[in-house]
């Protein structure tokens, strides 16, 4: 077997080692290494709705890179591509409970949804903390998938965390923060493609085989099968293969325009993401859709997969204001 080319110590310790790196690099955060939960240093924030998320590791900076003021209060790190266990979510929920309730932001994968539900039940029985869960399911590529009933939660999760985080930071109550989170999910759509497979450290070889000259449209962030394999296309064609299904799924025209998010899957460099952004810009202009805000970079990745995803979010006054609000996390930071 070819040796795996990764900067790690041992496949069994990748998540623990990376969390120690997060703690060392970001002293403003507090990392519970036993539970594998990354907290805001000042959690719980009294009177503020607490926001937690989490999921399998391998999608960095999602979720720990989005912990900080104006975004998440805590993130639970599962093993690579494996849901955290309910105990982690219980510890996170209790640790961010400032008396105003806690929002769980959950990507729609069967294990994550089930474990967050169990955690909410445990917390309700234990301490009576009010919890509302919002499940993201923005991926238009496939209806059901390897680990999902319904659509998968992908890029819009980053935007939910930012925008609902801003709503919580300005003191909105739990029901309203949850409503904002649901609105972002309802107004957002995504689709991705892979040029190469990522390699799970414990597996030691690529998750799937993607021959030279082919790419996979509609790929999931764990390498789950997408819609179809096609010959490698140029950036303009590739962008159209992602944007067209998104625009077919929701009317993005009019209003206050969209947030256009071109995301790297982990091994695709920024120069290529800007080439794709330019094509998205051209396609949206043709479709009469205005780009009001943008985000370009690797924010929800799939280990060392090469490829990209595109997320569009339909904006209104409220979402624009909350997107622009200050945020101070390792991976998104402005105005603070």
Task: Please identify every residue annotated as catalytic.
Answer: 59, 222
Q: Which tokens go with 297?
A: 């970079």
| Stretch 194-213: interaction string toward a copy of itself, x if CB under 8 A | -xx---------------xx
Measured CA to CA in angstroms, residue 190 lies from 59, 153, 298 at distances of 16, 9, 15
* 37 lies in the binding site for a copy of itself (CB under 8 A): no
Interface residue with a copy of itself, options 123, 166, 184, 303 (CB under 8 A): 303
From the list 56, 58, 153, 192, which residue makes contact with a copy of itself (rule: CB under 8 A)? 58
Q: Of 30-38, 113-121, 131-139, 233-241, which segment contacts a copy of itself by CB under 8 A?
A: 233-241
Q: Of the listed pieces 152-160, 217-225, 314-322, 327-335, which binds a copy of itself according to CB under 8 A? A: 327-335
For residue 270, state whether it binds a copy of itself (rule: CB under 8 A): yes
d(C-alpha 156, C-alpha 57), whole Å? 17
User: According to CB under 8 A, which one of 132, 179, 250, 296 is a site residue for a copy of itself?
Assistant: 296
Q: Strand 258-264's sheet: what is its strand order?
A: 228-231, 214-217, 188-194, 307-314, 258-264, 291-297
**What does the block give as tokens for 178?**
């949850």
Asked whether 83 and 61 are in contact (CB, 8 A), the reply is no
268/309 Cα distance (integer angstroms): 11
C-alpha Rg value of the chain to the nearest Å = 19
With CB under 8 A as the contact rule, the residue among 164, 215, 241, 315 that binds a copy of itself is: 215
Two structure tokens written together for 322: 């909350």
Q: Does 5 bind a copy of itself (CB under 8 A)?
A: yes
Residue selected from 22, 92, 103, 164 as contacting a copy of itself according to rule CB under 8 A: 22
Of these, 119, 238, 247, 289, which contacts a copy of itself (CB under 8 A)?
238
Q: Could you tell me the sign of the dihedral formed by the alpha carbons of 75, 77, 80, 82, in that order?
A: negative
β-bridge pairing 258-264 and 102-107: unpaired
Which residues contact a copy of itself by CB under 8 A?
A: 2-3, 5-10, 14, 17-22, 24-26, 57-58, 60-61, 65, 195-196, 212-213, 215, 232, 234-236, 238, 260, 262, 266-279, 281, 291, 294, 296, 298, 301, 303-304, 306-308, 328, 330, 333-336
């Amino acid at each position: 077997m070819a040796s795996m080319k990764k900067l790690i110590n041992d496949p069994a310790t990748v998540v623990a080692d990376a969390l120690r790196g997060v703690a060392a690099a970001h002293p403003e955060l507090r990392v519970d290494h036993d539970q594998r939960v990354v907290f805001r240093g000042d959690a719980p924030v009294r009177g503020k709705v607490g926001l937690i998320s989490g999921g399998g590791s391998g999608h960095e900076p999602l979720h720990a890179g989005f912990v900080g003021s104006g975004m998440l209060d805590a993130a639970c790190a599962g093993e690579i591509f494996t849901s955290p266990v309910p105990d982690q979510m219980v510890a996170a929920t209790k640790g961010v409970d400032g008396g105003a309730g806690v929002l769980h932001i959950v990507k729609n994968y069967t294990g994550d949804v089930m474990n967050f539900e169990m955690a909410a039940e445990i917390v309700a029985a234990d301490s009576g903390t009010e919890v509302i869960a919002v499940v993201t399911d923005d991926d238009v590529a496939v209806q059901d998938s390897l680990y999902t009933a319904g659509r998968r939660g992908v890029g819009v999760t980053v935007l939910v965390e930012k925008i609902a985080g801003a709503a919580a930071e300005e003191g909105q109550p739990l029901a309203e923060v949850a409503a904002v989170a649901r609105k972002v999910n309802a107004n957002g759509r995504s689709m991705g493609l892979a040029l190469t497979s990522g390699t799970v450290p414990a597996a030691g070889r690529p998750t799937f085989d993607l021959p030279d000259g082919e790419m996979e449209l509609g790929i999931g962030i764990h390498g789950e099968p997408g819609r179809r394999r096609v010959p490698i296309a140029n950036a303009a064609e590739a962008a159209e293969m992602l944007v067209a299904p998104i625009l077919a799924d929701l009317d993005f025209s009019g209003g206050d325009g969209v947030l256009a998010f071109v995301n790297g899957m982990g091994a695709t460099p920024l120069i290529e993401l800007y080439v794709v952004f330019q094509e998205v810009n051209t396609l949206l202009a043709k479709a009469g859709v205005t780009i009001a805000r943008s985000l370009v970079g690797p924010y929800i990745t799939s280990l060392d997969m090469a490829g990209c995803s595109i997320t569009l979010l339909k904006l209104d006054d409220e979402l624009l204001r909350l997107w622009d609000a200050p945020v101070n996390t390792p991976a998104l930071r402005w105005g603070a």
